[in-house]
Amino acid sequence: MRVATWNVNSVVRRLTHLLDWLERHQPDVIALQELKATAEAFPTEALRELGYQSLVVGERSWNGVALLSRHELVPIVKALPGDPSDKQARYLEAAVGGVLFGCLYLPNGNPQPGPKFDYKLKWFARLIRRADELWKSGQPVVLLGDWNVVPTDSDIYKPDSWRKDALLQPESRQAFAELLSQGWTDVIKSAYPDQVPYTFWDFFRKHWERDAGLRIDHILVSNQLQIVDAGVDREERGRDHPSDHAPVWAELKLRKGSKARQAARPAAKSGNEPVAAAPAAKKASVPKNTAVGGPDLSKAVKAPFPEQLSPQLATLTAAAPSEGDWIVENKWDGYRITIKFKGGKPHLITRNGNDWTAKLKPLVADLEKLQVQQAWLDGEMVVMGEHGVPDFNRLQNAIDNARTQAIVLYLFDAPFVGDQDLRDVPLRARREVLRKLLEGRASERIRFSDELPASPAQVLSAACQLGLEGVMLKKADSPYVGRRSDTWLKLKCQRRQEFVVIGFTDRTNSPREVGALILGYYEQGKLRPGGSVGTGWSSSQGAELHAQLVKLETKQPAVDPSLVEPGRWSKRKRGTERWVRPEMVVEVAFGEWTPDGNVRHPTFRGVRTDKPASAIRRETPAPAPTVALAKSTGRKAAQASTVTLATAKHGVKITHPDRVIDTASGLTKIDLVKYYEAVADRILPHLQLRPVSLVRAPQGISGQLFFQKHSDAKLKGITELDEALWPGHDSLMSVDTVEGLITAAQLNVVEFHTWNSTARRIDQPDRVVFDLDPGEGVTWAHLQEAAVLVRTMLEHLELQSWLKTSGGKGLHVVVPLAPRLDYEQVKDFSKAVVAHMAKTIPQRFVAKSGGSNRVGKIFIDYLRNGHGQTTAAAFSARARAGLGVSIPIAWDQLPDITGGAHWNIATAPAYLAGEITDPWADYWKSRQSLAEGLKLLGMKPARRVSTSV
């Protein structure tokens, strides 16, 4: 059986990652930690659709554990025995097939010394006693989870920098060693005795990229269990918005002579059968016909043959990259298939791991003629239409009706051949291996997917004209990874993706045919409507769809009824929609997404049976990869360094677009320009009619920065405000248009800072900003906690607040106001709030600025609320390494944010493009009064300023 453990760091936020990983790896049992969700909020239904039962001990904020199983779960205990007063959700035990599993989330213990570390040691002592009881039971036992212990110095990249951390304290290590001394086997240490893989990488200083990690997630097994294989899926830590932990897994089997006894449960027998022993891995040999020469195979590794292999997936992108060595292929409109050759027999495996060998006998016969003894090959199967291009509908019909003679298989990769693991070999070399393997053996059904010798833009244009789905771009030097990667990109001629069918209507005058399919997709674990499609099928296919959907019919929609408007999809009378269980998946081509998340101009392309409904998400194209351009010299290069930003359509000339402005990330001036163009509609409401100060970086952010408050020339799109607004000073500026944004970026402006008032009421601020500025030694977790405390304080003062990242180290808590008071009154109020926080919680907050005053503490900068003071605007980039961005977020997103610069100018546009709901939508409607807050703080009533607009 395959078991795993994963600290998911918020199961709701990481649900897409979790479902994807489970779909690819299909462990029998997995333990989850740090759910940050109650049992009611746990995504039980989404997991059940993948075939997993769930046993959950939830907690709203930081803790929570769960066990998932593809087999029956028999609960044993839902808390660690030994202290009935301990209510933290950290431990769970259940039996699966006679093997007992203990899922644990051992306390972190920081800061130490202190009560949290004392609690950790007491909890550990209880765990040792419980483990001893389990060991003596004679039953096969697996203890797995996040132990928050680095067992030895060899389990961490740089132990000296962590010496004061609770994870490395002698007491923690001694407790772990004491537990091991009972006889438990540390699975990962046993599988990797020389150099253990890390399981955790924090989000600072590119620790994951540098593999500067720790091993704190452990699987311990009793002596009845034998380790077949084990590992850490490190790549999961490299996904967008990942957990800081990676999944840890093990293949286990019962030792010869051992028996899995059934666990008792109240009032009933479990009825489970013993766990089936997993076959031991066999060493593969190189078949004669796979010997190759020519390509660079220096990174090939002789390795045991993998019984499973997850396919590499491509990232949908909005445009082709302008630089880099990319292999361009047709994007075949079909089903992804990997072929496992073992003992000369081919097995055809779908993306979900289903074996379709019996369904595809004509392909199997042709594959056998390749005479490959042992390999994993990757490809796509299609059926060609009348015009010689793939027709997905015909493919679906061919599979459903067992007419598979017309199916063609295009092969494009060879990740494993003979006993050689080629996954780290560059793609171009792997393709050469595949080409040689097919040489003289390819057929009409088995073909090599050729590289197209033209630029991506040219190939995409030609593909669209021919009616193809799009093109694939693959980095020529990239390895093969079993996950979605930005080294493989897909560009589509029109938008196209899968949807879940949540309902249908009858066709007018033909009640036994489908008139329209009502579509849905999952978002943050919940099913939501995505519009409808009413074209793309024949009369006979419409009748077939109708017959299938009638069998799934239910009385109520699977989505929230308030989200579906009766009569919206029916051309007949209102309320004639028929709802179904969300099980059917269809592929739909469409023009674009509407602002409310529905498809526009859709066309039905076919039913998909290779993907579960629970895996269907809205696809969001990522921006084209940014590649730092090499420095060029000479007159021609200088002439080429002045371009017009064609996409902006404003005629603003961008000089030196390739100049790197941030050496840490390689981001260039044109990257910054494109970022501001992309977010113009987001940032402008925060800038318009408001005095703006600009931070300019003519030599890049590592050079001298200039803070400009006043306009020194007539600049395109930048408004010069009336001098009377600030007597005795030069005119202030306001940025009111996209043209102004791009003009500013051309002038090397990185940051936009704004006053707390608009030009209409310059002396009456319409907001209060609390800038949480962490001192040296303050952890991100403490800053997150501080933001929640500030929010709670403001709620006590009857004020609602909104949150945004700063783009730097901190967070901004913003309170919108009715513009009635002057700056002095508003600043005094904010100062009083900060003073109260510092007095009430002195271990966290300090009311004085200055680095020496706030070591280990947070200064809430109320000075931002003075007259003429500014704060970095929402969506402004920051002139700091990485070019972070200030992004508005919802309060419930805060636990998943990894730092004040969680997004940068390269990653923010894609995130914002997929954002369905504006977390600050109500901010613009809120105009609050400080009257009650001043009263509760014991301050004098506000003096309303009389001013004409």
Given the residues 331, 340, 804, 809, the one annotated as active site: 331
Alpha-carbon gap, residue 248 to 147, rounded angstroms: 12
942 DSSP 8-state letter: P
* Distance linking the first and last C-alpha atoms of the chain: 73
Rounded to 5 degrees, what angle do the CA atoms 914, 887, 650 make? Answer: 75
Asked whether the bond before 159 is cis by omega within 30 degrees of 0, the reply is: no
> In sequence order, what are the residues at sequence separation of 6 or more whose Cβ sits closer than 8 angstroms to the Cβ of residue 192?
230
Residue 610: burial class (beta carbons within 10 Å; 0-12, 13-18, 19+): middle
DSSP for 510-569, please give it: EEEEEEEEEEEEEETTEEEEEEEE--S--HHHHHHHHHHHHTTEESS-SS-GGGS-TTSS
Name the strand (E) or helix (H) holding 790: helix 780-796
Asked whether the bond before 113 is cis by omega within 30 degrees of 0, the reply is: yes
The pair of three-digit structure tokens given for residue 509, joined into one six-digit string: 């005058």
The pair of three-digit structure tokens given for residue 453, joined into one six-digit string: 């010798």
Task: With beta carbons less than 8 A apart as the criterion, state whether 711 and 638 touch.
Answer: no
Task: With beta carbons less than 8 A apart as the criterion, state whether 306 and 376 touch.
Answer: yes
Q: Closest by alpha carbon to 521, among 494, 549, 502?
A: 502
Task: With beta carbons less than 8 A apart as the criterion, state whether 472 and 492 touch.
Answer: no
Alpha-carbon gap, residue 56 to 67, rounded angstroms: 7
The pair of three-digit structure tokens given for residue 887, joined into one six-digit string: 């992004």
Residue 736: burial class (beta carbons within 10 Å; 0-12, 13-18, 19+): middle
Alpha-carbon gap, residue 940 to 599, rounded angstroms: 55
Alpha-carbon gap, residue 330 to 512, rounded angstroms: 39
Q: What share of the chain is helix, strand, coil (3-state, %, to 5)?
A: 25, 30, 45
Q: Closest by alpha carbon to 888, among 833, 812, 791, 828?
A: 812
φ/ψ of residue 617, rounded to 5: -125, 165
317 DSSP 8-state letter: B
Alpha-carbon gap, residue 153 to 733, rounded angstroms: 56
Count CB neighbours of 316 within 10 A. Answer: 17
How many residues are present in the chain? 949
Name the strand (E) or helix (H) holding 864: none
DSSP for 801-836, please give it: -EEEE-SSSSEEEEEEB-S-S-HHHHHHHHHHHHHH
Alpha-carbon gap, residue 4 to 217, rounded angstroms: 10
Task: With beta carbons less than 8 A apart as the criterion, state whether 8 and 32 touch.
Answer: yes
Catalytic status, residue 848 = no
φ/ψ of residue 429, rounded to 5: -70, -40
> In sequence order, what are the residues at sequence separation of 6 or more whose Cβ sits closer than 8 angstroms to the Cβ of residue 572?
505, 506, 508
Count, in order, helices (H) and strands (E) of the chain: 18, 48
> In sequence order, what are the residues at sequence separation of 6 or more whose Cβ sits closer than 8 angstroms to the Cβ of residue 33?
5, 6, 7, 8, 64, 65, 103, 104, 105, 145, 146
Distances (CA, A) of 936 to 766, 816, 819, 888, 930: 21, 19, 20, 29, 10
Residue 439: burial class (beta carbons within 10 Å; 0-12, 13-18, 19+): exposed
The pair of three-digit structure tokens given for residue 166, joined into one six-digit string: 């609770």
Active site residues: 331
